[in-house]
Amino acid sequence: MNLEYKLVNILTEQFAIIDNVYKEGIESSTKATLGYNFAEAAPLIKTSIKIELLQDEKLFLIIQTACVFEIEDESWNVIYDNSSLTVTLPKSFASFLATFTMNTTHGILHAKTEGLPVHSAVILPLTSFEEIVKEDVVIVLAK
């Protein structure tokens, strides 16, 4: 199934570097969260990624970004269930949206940290969401 869409917005919802936590030469760990949402009033899907970077269990950088995609009406009718107020994203499409949003996050993170001491610590590995998103994603309208 081919769903028709277009990117309509890129958001940096949260970004912070916590002073005096990052130390060069110390290994960093990463926590990542992926989320999906939609608006009932418009055929929009929002995919968000939140990344927290830590050293010795202490947060030194947080970034949360989102990409908003407008879904073409005919495609929206395929994925939206008005009776249950849910959107079902096929696994491959959900994986694509996540990968797109993660790649966008890479670019935003690079732009915000270029020239700073943390820059080398925030180069994230490429991520394939084909293995992470294991099945269709069902999004329930938040009330």
Give me the count of residues in the chain: 143
Residue 87 to residue 29: CA distance in whole angstroms: 33
* pLDDT (0 to 100) of residue 15: 97
**CA pair distance 15, 93, nearest whole angstrom:** 27
Distance of CA 109 to the CA centre of its chain: 13
Looking at the structure of the chain, the number of domains it has is 1
Tokens standing for 125?
């590995």
Contact (CB, 8 A) for 96 and 4: no
Give the sign of the dihedral formed by CA 92, CA 94, CA 95, CA 99: positive
User: What is the helix (H) or strand (E) element at residue 92, kind and residue range?
Assistant: helix 91-113
119 three-class SS: helix
**Structural domain boundaries, residue 108:** 5-140
For the domain that residue 11 is a member of, what is the CATH number? 3.10.420.10
Per-residue pLDDT of the chain (143 residues; tens, 9 = 90+): 799 999 999 999 999 999 889 888 888 888 999 999 998 788 999 999 999 999 999 999 999 999 999 999 999 999 999 999 999 999 999 999 999 999 999 999 999 999 988 887 777 777 778 888 999 999 998 76
Give the neighbor-by-neighbor strand order of the sheet with 44-55.
5-17, 58-71, 44-55, 29-39
Residue 123's pLDDT is 72
